Amino acid sequence: MAGLPIFADVAPGRNAYLEGNKTQLSKMRAAMNNLEFPTVTADEIRAIEARAHELRAQAMASFLRSLGRGIVSLPGKLAALLSRPRHA
């Protein structure tokens, strides 16, 4: 038993799993070589940039609103912290 290979039922040099992976890989390479990118006009690029600018402006406005709310609520939180009874 010591001299037998671990995978005795596998024929040497013919591994179906590796052969399948090679075919799949060659199919993937062929598909990747056939990639076609859509053509985008200058007007479409400008529209995309305008939308990105609008989204950035909305995000910044939301951030500044939440920051302002936090700053405004800070004195009330500090007053509540100092006015609590000691046992709380």
Q: Which residue has the tokens 């070589």?
A: 33
Residues 13, 24: Cα–Cα separation, whole Å: 19
pLDDT in tens, 2-21: 555 555 555 555 555 555 56
Residues 21, 26: Cα–Cα separation, whole Å: 9
Burial of 34 per CB tally in 10 Å (0-12, 13-18, 19+): exposed
pLDDT in tens, 11-60: 555 555 555 566 666 666 666 666 677 899 999 999 999 999 999 999 99
For the whole prediction, is pTM greater than 0.85? Answer: no
Q: Which residue has the tokens 């006015």?
A: 83
What's the CA dihedral at 72, 78, 81, 84 to 10 degrees?
A: -90
